[in-house]
Structure 1
Amino acid sequence: MSTKIKMLVPLVEMDGDEMTRIIWAKIKEILINPYVELNTEYYDLGLKYRDETNDQVTVDAAEAIKKYGVGVKCATITPNADRVKEYNLKKMWKSPNGTIRAILDGTVFRTPIIVNNIKPFVRTWNKPITIARHAYGDVYKNVEYRVQEAGKAELVFTSKSGNITRQTIQDFEGSGVLMGMHNLDESIKSFARACFNYALDLKQDLWFSSKDTISKIYDHTFKDIFQEIYDKEYKSKFEDAKIEYFYTLVDDAVSRIIRSEGGMVWACKNYDGDVMSDMVATAFGSLAMMTSVLVSPEGYYEYEAAHGTVQRHYYNHLKGMETSTNSMATIFAWTGALKKRGELDGIKELVEFADKLEKASIKTIEENCMTKDLAQLVESNEVKVVNTENFLWEIKKRLDEML
């Protein structure tokens, strides 16, 4: 391209950890900077810097997304006890994704990236399945307590007017563990509307599942709010679009999804969505072949790679060993964000560029050139396995042909 595409408004760029951080820099260097005058407001969400800033950088990044409307995020480490030791952290910081989602609220939509030479492990699936994951509350905003001795645990609510209700959770006779979770009606309503709108956009059925037979108040509230909003605001729209909405128990949903041909939006509460999106991604081929976008009720968008930081490859990389790490989800996080920025700012060239980069990435794999993880899944004997960086150069070759 003779002149680079100019951006009017910055993207919020959130760098990450380990192997995905290496890939992040390479994607910009090889696939974006030569074509786009990249305009970003940069936040380092690497674990060391989160620790230095007492995680304030994560909060600042989320607030910046509110300001500019679109963010793109690299995979980050959510520390466990081993990571606290490894990185000598001040404390076990919470999931950056959880923090950002809590600030932005909204719904995470995850859809597999389909390539024609990798067939899903579930034989009947011939259409992508989108997981719509609620992005607020539940176990990601929980309060936990390790019980060390006998005693009574209670759920106590003190209202603004001073009324107090208390219920016994458990009379502990010895040690144990406690967890308190919450959600908000307003957030559940936003979640429901986001799911209904997304299903209408895709013209696909919407399924919602939870466990209201066991959780007769918590999960039942989700079910009731979805039904109420559907009946009042979406029923006729769904009928006109010839698609349907229905509720089913999460265990029933799992068995029906596995027997289906795919092609639906499956709405899940926060933790369910975390687990089910990994199941769907893996069954379609790979966690690295999944798009992920958080859509907030105010119209903020955060695109991310929906997998981990590829720790094992990173340690090999540090030893100077060659790695073959799949960068598709990270590429699609960038293309999703650039496309949305282009749409919002009326920059047609940016949207077209992002589209072509996606097509070039898919074409590379469909022409049997790929990273090691996919080579084991592809239905061909003639596969060219490339390393992490060469995969990006192969995409660039095809992108240049398209441009």
Structure 2
Amino acid sequence: MRDTKTVVVMKGDQTGQELLEEAMRILQPDVIGFDITFEEYDLSLENRRRTDNEVVHEAAQAMKTYGFGIKAATITPEAGDDVGSPNAILRREIDGKVIVRTGRRIPGIRPVGGTYAPISVIRMAVGDAYGAKEWRDGEGDDEIACRTEVIDRKTCRAVAEYAFRHAKKMNAKVFGGPKYTVSPVYEGMLKEEMDRASERYPDVPYDPQLIDATYALLLNNHGDPLVIPALNRDGDCLSDMVLQLFGSIAGAESMLISFDDELNPHVVMAEAPTGRPRVSSAKTSPTRWR
């Protein structure tokens, strides 16, 4: 008797849902060659509003049970009193630590700057600029804006460890890094974990660079496969650039991963890497794809 895996399927909005339906066609047992079942949850904006996000929490718990998920692109309302981003809830609920976004050459599309081999961005999934405490003090020309950002050692270790494991599988070089010279205490924490991971994987090539140098050198890449560990904000911006180097963000993959105590993947969720702004037909407030 064959072991049947269950994948949690999270439906989305409009084009996101259409693309999910196409993806599901190639996940059928007669295509992939092994048994697989699906448990569906409707994460469309309409249903998230109707359930006050309860459906998102249910989907997250199901992923923790089965270990696998695939999510369509969904609309995130801009209004603060609306349902917000389902991605933020899912990442928190499954304790997602790493987002892996890999650019690969698309047949028939000429890449930019000689980027022929795959490039993976290993992005911190939580903390940093996202969810930071923000406030303003003063008035007029003396007004100042402040933000308190936080990263933690455990997440930095997960990013660094997975980067080197991924590079070993890809026969790639771990490349890039944070701006640790300007921010040795905050951004230096990720650099420390990258250096320690390098010691654990001496057979994996390691070329640490500051984030600004990383951007510049990517435009002069000689075609080698690369794995780039990054802070949350850096990884968000960097992955959009890397994916576009291959011709289109739409042709890329994005994986959210949580880990067990041994830093082995515990839950893996495939999702759309990004989307385009639009206006919801349900409300007049601006929305964005997530």
Matching of residue 278 in structure 1 with residue 240 in structure 2:
yes
Return the structure number with greater strand share.
Answer: 2
Q: Secondary structure at the match of 2:177?
A: strand
Match of 1:291 among 242, 250, 253: 253
Mapping for residues 3-402 of structure 1, pairs under 5 Å:
8-25=4-21, 27-28=23-24, 31=26, 35=30, 39-80=37-78, 84=79, 91-103=81-93, 104-122=95-113, 124-145=114-135, 147=136, 149=138, 174-231=142-199, 233-235=200-202, 238=203, 243-262=204-223, 263-298=225-260, 299=265, 300-308=267-275, 311=278
- % identical equivalent positions: 28
* Deviation of 1:310 (Å): 7.5
Query: Taking structure 1 as reference, are residues 34 and 287 closer, same or farther at Cα in structure 2, changes over 3 Å only?
Result: same
What CA distance in whole angstroms lies between the structure 2 residues aligned with 1:52 and 1:134? Answer: 31
Superposed CA deviations along residues 192-248 of structure 1, whole A, max 9, x for unmatched, are: 1111111111111111411122223110111112212332x222xx2xxxx411321
TM-score relative to the length of structure 2: 0.82
User: Quick check: 1:106–1:194 contact (8 Å CA) kept in 2?
Assistant: no
Query: Taking structure 1 as reference, are residues 101 and 246 closer, same or farther at Cα in structure 2, changes over 3 Å only?
Result: farther
Which one-letter code corresponds to 1:95 in the other structure?
S
Query: Where does the alignment leave 5 or more consecutive residues of structure 1 unmatched?
Result: 1-5, 85-89, 151-171, 316-403
User: Quick check: 1:194–1:297 contact (8 Å CA) kept in 2?
Assistant: no
- For the aligned residue pairs, the C-alpha RMSD in angstroms reads 2.7
Q: Secondary structure at the match of 1:295?
A: strand
User: Quick check: 1:194–1:295 contact (8 Å CA) kept in 2?
Assistant: no
* Deviation of 1:284 (Å): 0.9
Q: Secondary structure at the match of 1:63?
A: helix
Query: Taking structure 1 as reference, are residues 68 and 91 closer, same or farther at Cα in structure 2, changes over 3 Å only?
Result: same
Instruction: Show the counterpart of 2:284.
Output: none
What CA distance in whole angstroms lies between the structure 2 residues aligned with 1:309 and 1:117? Answer: 24
Q: Secondary structure at the match of 1:40?
A: strand
Q: Secondary structure at the match of 1:130?
A: strand
Which one-letter code corresponds to 1:108 in the other structure?
I
User: Quick check: 2:174–2:207 contact (8 Å CA) kept in 1?
Assistant: yes
Query: Taking structure 1 as reference, are residues 180 and 310 closer, same or farther at Cα in structure 2, changes over 3 Å only?
Result: closer
Q: Secondary structure at the match of 2:146?
A: strand
Superposed CA deviations along residues 298-321 of structure 1, whole A, max 9, x for unmatched, are: 322111121216859x98xxxxxx
Query: Where does the alignment leave 5 or more consecutive residues of structure 2 unmatched?
Result: 282-290
Q: What is the number of equivalent residue pairs in this alignment?
A: 270
User: Quick check: 1:132–1:267 contact (8 Å CA) kept in 2?
Assistant: yes
What CA distance in whole angstroms lies between the structure 2 residues aligned with 1:224 and 1:42? Answer: 41
Q: Secondary structure at the match of 1:127?
A: coil
What CA distance in whole angstroms lies between the structure 2 residues aligned with 1:192 and 1:25? Answer: 34
